[in-house]
């Protein structure tokens, strides 16, 4: 098998010079070019060897796969993305966004082009077809999120258990005993297997039972109107409710404004506490929402770090779970006297 | 100069088969591979020819360049992006998002990799360094936005003149004579040259003068808090104000909530009309905002179409300007009686 060194030796130039020519990374003189091309022809240095060399070439580009046509790209997603892009840049990588679906078809086409060194997966499903594709194509990847089967997979995620536990403890401490969770819609085929929905709801069911509270869950899509409708539904069916936890970011805005429109005083009559929200979203609400602040900045940075460590052959980043943290606002207070 | 046809003829295979091998697009048998490689070696078919062939290879990937670390990626930007991605997909292209800065440095590195067939530029500055880089690297591109010098450049954009004219005509028709524009901050170095800010403010100054109105402009960054501060400032300095136009999407939310917090009845005392807003953003406001609805879905689609036509060698898409359209909400009404 003819190597680049053989070509360089025969042409009487350095390997670097051959590489400059092959990769067009630096100009070489016409005379040098002619010598190298002649050596390649004489040695039968063929396209496939070049193709292999090219294929092993690093682009220093990594992609964040985000199903932007199915999942709302709101302030929380923007926080993950911009913190990941900033982390990549600090290590001299470029991060690009691939708006590919969760089913993996487009991801497959894109990784087939060998255009990126690796992929960060967002909006991970419990059984995510994208994982098998990345494994099969030997594409390095890290997940911001978790599949059910995690053996050997590089990942960081929200600590949903601790987030929900801290939120319930806070409301319980204020005196609330009649809580409702506004959850994500697992009947929507785009989300039936969506890790954050499944894990948050499961944590809530477990923790509310531990507190001896009635477990009431209503469903909302991730938009303002659906949140408003959920607020109307839950106050109709559960008029004793004194505090509402909300999974979806924009549903949280809708629950607060929906309660206002129905004539409820927030937080005088009902407290509202979104479980995963960016501060910029909270600021859109009037009054500003008390939130469990989603750890987007930390996880975007860590997910990128986990991938780059693989690419650089550094020690693996241990899996990390980070909870959302309480950020006080004006939508939580002790319950109304009964 | 040896061509792929020469190699095919000598190996006794079709040009397509040579191409399959060179581009790894389809498996060929070992015997065929050996014949082609031998022909390549005998003819001295060299790497540079392959490199040229590879360079001309289409990836069917196009990038949207959006300076996401400098410009807020809100609902309007998401509309441009998702409509562009949808339009690309319909024509069997992939759209990816490059969060590269307006200064062009990162864009230059990325286009140097020849990873995409072309680029759609977003958040165009009047004198945008990215244009020269794309021209110099012969990268096909289309702009959603406009530089000052447009000769021969493929572009679609918002019709700022008509948007402002329609908005002022609407408020004037309701009876308003004391308008204020909350403009973008041209003193911010990231935006000193930002087409939408410059064009909208210029249109407003011209049109308000045409109506014989006093031209009052205050400045706000694109976030809720800055909009609230602008509302306080403008009511302090111009207490006769009966209607406020706002350029920035999230400043618009802030102006409305800021007026509410200051005790003003919207629209009873002051009307609020954002000039470029997505309906999803308008729905976050309580009451829901009357808006000039930004033409994101149309322009994302058209900008992608303009680029793909270049890539396909089809007739150029003529430049198009599309105005935002009035979408009635609950924040505009006739002015309070004086």
Q: Is residue B329 a part of any domain in this protein?
A: no
We report the CATH number of the domain holding residue A126 as 3.40.50.2300
Neighbour tally for B51: CB within 10 Å: 17
B window 119-178, beta carbon within 8 A of A:
none
Q: Are residues A72 and A147 in the same domain?
A: yes
| Cβ neighbours of B106 in A, within 8 Å | 89, 94
Question: pLDDT tens digits, residue range A204-256?
Answer: 999 999 999 999 999 999 999 999 999 999 999 999 999 999 999 999 999 99
Q: Cα dihedral angle (A275, A278, A281, A283), rounded to 10 degrees?
A: 100
Residue B1 binned pLDDT confidence (cut-offs 50, 70, 90): low
Taking the Cβ of residue B50 and every Cβ of chain A, the question of whether any pair is shorter than 8 Å is answered with yes
Q: Is residue B335 a part of any domain in this protein?
A: no
* 3-class DSSP assignment, residue B269: coil
We report the CATH number of the domain holding residue B24 as 1.10.260
Q: Are residues A183 and A235 in the same domain?
A: yes
pLDDT for A84: 95
Q: Which two tokens stand for residue A154?
A: 């590089």
Question: In whole angstroms, what is the distance from residue B255 CA to residue B232 CA?
Answer: 8
Closest CA relative to residue B197, chosen from B178, B209, B181, B179: B181
Q: Which two tokens stand for residue B141?
A: 């591109």
Question: In whole angstroms, what is the distance from residue B134 CA to residue B140 CA?
Answer: 7
H/E stretch holding A24: none
Question: In whole angstroms, what is the distance from residue A58 CA to residue A48 CA?
Answer: 18
Closest CA relative to residue B309, chosen from B159, B130, B118: B118
Q: Are residues B112 and B194 in the same domain?
A: no
Q: Is residue A337 a part of any domain in this protein?
A: no
The residue in chain B having the minimum alpha-carbon distance to the alpha carbon of residue A62 is B98
Q: What angle do CA B151, B152, B155 make, to 5 degrees?
A: 95
pLDDT for B271: 98
For residue A205, give its domain range.
Answer: 160-293
Q: Is residue A281 within 8 Å of A227, Cβ to Cβ?
A: no
Q: Are residues B146 and B210 in the same domain?
A: no
Q: Are residues B205 and B120 in the same domain?
A: no
Q: Number of structural domains, chain A?
A: 3
Closest CA relative to residue B267, chosen from B250, B285, B279: B285
Q: Are residues A34 and A143 in the same domain?
A: no
Neighbour tally for A316: CB within 10 Å: 11
Q: Where is average pLDDT lowest: A46-50, B139-143, B150-154, B249-253?
A: A46-50
Q: Is residue A115 a part of any domain in this protein?
A: yes
What percent of chain B stands above pLDDT 70? 94
Q: Are residues A48 and A88 in the same domain?
A: no
pLDDT for A49: 55
CB contact under 8 Å between A46 and B40, yes or no, is yes
Q: Is residue B248 a part of any domain in this protein?
A: yes
CB contact under 8 Å between A78 and B69, yes or no, is no
Question: pLDDT tens digits, residue range B221-248?
Answer: 999 999 999 999 999 999 999 999 999 9
Q: Is residue A294 within 8 Å of A79, Cβ to Cβ?
A: yes
Q: Is residue A331 a part of any domain in this protein?
A: no
Taking the Cβ of residue A245 and every Cβ of chain B, the question of whether any pair is shorter than 8 Å is answered with no
- In this structure, what DSSP letter does residue B336 have? P
Alpha-carbon gap: A231 to the closest alpha carbon of chain B (Å): 15
Q: Which region holds residue A114: left if phi is over 0, alpha if psi is between -120 and 50, else beta?
A: left
Q: Are residues B88 and B121 in the same domain?
A: yes
| Cβ neighbours of A280 in B, within 8 Å | 223-224
Q: Are residues B266 and B304 in the same domain?
A: no
Nearest to A106 among B94, B99, B286 (CB): B94
A window 72-101, beta carbon within 8 A of B:
72-75, 78, 81-82, 85-86, 89, 94-100
The residue in chain A having the minimum alpha-carbon distance to the alpha carbon of residue B99 is A96
Question: In whole angstroms, what is the distance from residue A49 CA to residue B22 CA?
Answer: 10
Q: Are residues B304 and B202 in the same domain?
A: no
Q: Is residue B331 a part of any domain in this protein?
A: no
Q: Are residues A289 and A169 in the same domain?
A: yes
Question: In whole angstroms, what is the distance from residue A149 CA to residue A104 CA?
Answer: 17
| Cβ neighbours of A110 in B, within 8 Å | 61, 94, 96
Average pLDDT over residues A158-169: 98
Q: Which two tokens stand for residue B48?
A: 């540079």
Per DSSP bridges, beta strands B217-219 and B61-65 are unpaired
């Amino acid at each position: 098998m003819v190597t680049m060194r053989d070509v360089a030796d025969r042409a009487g130039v350095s390997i670097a010079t051959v590489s400059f020519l092959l990769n067009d990374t630096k100009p070489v003189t016409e005379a040098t070019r002619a010598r190298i091309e002649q050596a390649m022809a004489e040695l039968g240095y063929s396209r496939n060897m070049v193709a292999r060399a090219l294929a092993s070439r690093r682009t220093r580009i990594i992609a964040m796969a985000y199903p932007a046509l199915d999942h709302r790209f709101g302030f929380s997603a923007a926080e993950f993305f911009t913190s990941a892009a900033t982390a990549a840049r600090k290590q001299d990588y470029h991060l690009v966004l691939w708006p590919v679906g969760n089913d993996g078809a487009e991801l497959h086409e894109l990784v087939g082009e060998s255009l990126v060194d690796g992929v960060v997966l967002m909006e991970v499903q419990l059984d995510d077809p994208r994982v098998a594709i990345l494994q099969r194509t030997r594409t390095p990847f890290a997940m911001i999120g978790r599949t059910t089967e995690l053996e050997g997979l590089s990942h960081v995620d929200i600590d949903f258990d601790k987030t929900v536990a801290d939120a319930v403890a806070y409301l319980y401490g204020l005196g609330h005993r009649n809580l409702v969770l506004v959850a994500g819609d697992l009947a929507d085929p785009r989300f039936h297997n969506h890790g954050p929905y499944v894990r948050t709801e499961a944590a809530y069911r477990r923790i509310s039972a531990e507190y001896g509270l009635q477990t009431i869950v209503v469903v909302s899509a991730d938009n303002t109107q659906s949140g408003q409708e959920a607020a109307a539904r839950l106050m109709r069916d559960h008029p004793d409710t004194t505090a509402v936890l909300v999974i979806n970011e924009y549903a949280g805005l809708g629950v607060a404004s929906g309660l206002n429109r129905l004539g409820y005083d927030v937080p005088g009559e009902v407290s509202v506490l979104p479980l995963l929200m960016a501060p910029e979203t909270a600021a859109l609400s009037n009054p500003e929402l008390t939130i469990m602040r989603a750890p987007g900045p930390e996880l975007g940075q860590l997910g990128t770090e986990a991938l780059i460590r693989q690419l650089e052959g550094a020690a693996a980043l241990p899996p990390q779970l980070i909870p959302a943290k309480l950020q006080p606002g004006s939508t939580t207070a002790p319950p109304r006297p009964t």
